[in-house]
Chains A and B, each alone.
Chain A
């Protein structure tokens, strides 16, 4: 799994921090920038210690303008640097859309490769933390719709570090969404139960040195025969917990990278199980689940024994007090499970 024998327990924040640390040490062209990321080390502490180690010209606070942060990152990329900007919450990424969609994602194509944007945009996303509508959204579907940009979402500390290193080394712009609900530990979807932390989870054992997980490769986190569940981020853990409680032998696939997607792993699994459930926290209409559903239907139609189920957040803004009514938790997944397994 790794070329580094040494490993230690890390939560997802520490793993992400370690990825940047390892990469900044290896490559003097990597810079980290964003609101509050410098002296303070980020509102989630993901960049803690980096400024004191690598200096203010490589790790620095920025003005509060997401458009400016990404625009500046594109210019730094054109110079030859490899910027890793942080957008403090995914909900704040919209002012940067033009710079991401029309500039970073299109620069290689429009300049026939003269200029590229080797940028990794880190941003905490997703809800379940009582963040209300401006600290909880899952906008990955906006970016998967954009040609020229990659979208990566880890679900464990081990994957977070390996994927972030791969994203930073990648020469194309990558959106790296960090599921903030599981920064400290996996979440089983039961908000009323005690939280777990990564120290008890095998994927909380993270090599201290360099390793990477290839982008575009999903992971079968639980092999099974009864149905295939496609999920990413927080929802991987929720799905695992629901099927364990229901005693269903599901194959759970953690997509890890949405674009480029690991279609082979998905196809092989659905063709084996004949059933497919897609779970994401983002709103339903035109969500990434719609794309997954279409792909599975196109490629596995004659293997399907039941309609594909999509379990998602509702098409509302992310609510505050009714957060758990929005969240596609154990009840919603459980109902979908009954439906898809009805004739099994």
Chain B
């Protein structure tokens, strides 16, 4: 409202301001048409030398590294030329992640745990990166990179034990399902708070560099989380100290119900965030396992040779809900997942292997069946250790363990209070 204190003849004749609030293209019931999404042809984007200066290839932040073409062929300068065995191993890992997700999602629906998050449609992002990194490299994931653990060969039973918060849960029931922590597999404790892992990955990478180590760090967040201050603090630190770290932004288009426009996607790409920080930026077809592999390997080489950080935007699509707690049908068109122009990452890698004569539909179907059996067997083994809500899986007094290295008096006192309450109430908790 214009101030009444200003005399009328001094008031400028300006149009009223208007506030722009982004709105996704499609809502429930809308027909989906993704033709406006610019998808460069596979093989088209150039591949700079890993020793090139970041400011000499800023154009890559606005293009898209793609290797697999429409005919299932691997083309162009980013083709990592992986062996058929490696390709099959990647395909198997991705399919295993999907089978694991299916089974655990259902376990949540069956009331065996409180929460689950699938990564359906995004399997290539974590799995191909895990194949491109060294096993010793440290990963600071968000909550949708279960593919890192699966690809690194970590035990599914162990992951399920955590999901069930059961007697064998390596985290002793202390953390929300799927917020894994596996130091042995170079997998940092997942936080539910967004992008906090970004500066932590930079710190780890700086420490590695300061110690003259050879290991590098990699971290992941969603496109929505790039709005967090932690993301920008991390980019500044990584740029300043040329930290050997790979920033992965998984642009899966949706942050729960908020489309990527609420993180700034209508104005530029997420890879372009790198440009302002003067760090290397790549935009990659996140549903193309070979592109993800090639970009990660390229970024890793830069990091290992003290060329500093790389930010990789993985352009992908979250084919299902954010978690077991939301129904995407309430906020986006049901037609989006099938209309997504970059297809399905597993189908695309499978088609490639078939196209080069190293795979066939029968083997694929047999593998799917075998993987489903493996997941089922793992589930059976994990459930023998209990499922959430059915019995006491951790000693009651362990509630107080690990707040500090040594328990101070006030926690000991509260612990004694809790045990006294339990005794007095006659609750059916069986103390162990």
- Chain A interfacial positions (CB closer than 8 Å to B): 31, 57-58, 62-63, 65, 67-68, 70-81, 83, 95, 98-99, 102-103, 107-116, 147-148, 150, 170-172, 216, 259-261, 263
Contact = CB atoms under 8 A, between A and B. Distances in A.
Interface of B: 138, 140, 170-172, 174-175, 179, 181-183, 188-189, 191, 193, 196, 198-211, 217, 229-230, 232-234, 236-237, 240, 402-405, 408-410
Contacts of B230: 67-68, 71, 98-99
Nearest to A28: B211
A58 B212 CA distance: 13
B174 A260 contact: no
Given A75-B201, A76-B207, A171 B233 contact: no
B183 A115 contact: yes
Nearest to A116: B405
Most chain B CB inside 10 Å of its own CB: which residue of A75, A78, A79, A110: A75
Contacts of B240: 63
A103 B179 CA distance: 13
A62 B405 CA distance: 29
27 contacts: A58-B210, A67-B229, A67-B233, A68-B230, A71-B196, A71-B203, A72-B200, A73-B203, A75-B202, A75-B217, A76-B206, A78-B188, A80-B207, A95-B229, A98-B196, A98-B230, A102-B191, A107-B189, A108-B403, A110-B181, A111-B189, A112-B402, A113-B402, A115-B188, A150-B404, A171-B405, A172-B404
A111 B189 CA distance: 6
B210 A68 contact: no
B409 A263 contact: yes
Given A75-B203, A79-B203, A260-B410, A63 B174 contact: no
Contacts of A115: 181, 183, 188-189
B309 to A, nearest CB: 13
A63 B199 CA distance: 12
Given A76-B203, A79-B204, A99-B199, 6 more contacts: A31-B210, A71-B200, A75-B140, A98-B196, A112-B174, A114-B181
Contacts of B202: 68, 71-72, 75
A75 B200 contact: yes
B181 A112 contact: yes
A63 B236 contact: yes
B63 to A, nearest CB: 30
A79 B207 contact: yes
B168 to A, nearest CB: 12
A79 B234 CA distance: 17
Contacts of B211: 79
B204 A75 contact: yes
A68 B210 CA distance: 18
A75 B205 contact: yes
Contacts of A67: 199, 229-230, 233
A62 B193 contact: no
A76 B138 CA distance: 12
Contacts of B191: 102-103, 110
A193 B236 CA distance: 46
B368 to A, nearest CB: 33
Given A110-B179, A114-B181, A148 B403 contact: yes
A274 to B, nearest CB: 23
A69 to B, nearest CB: 8
A115 B405 CA distance: 11
A70 B402 CA distance: 21
A65 B409 contact: no
A62 B408 CA distance: 34
B207 A108 contact: no
A114 B408 contact: no
Most chain A CB inside 10 Å of its own CB: which residue of B203, B208, B210, B240: B203
Contacts of B233: 63, 65, 67-68, 71
B207 A102 contact: no
Contacts of A150: 404
A68 B204 contact: no
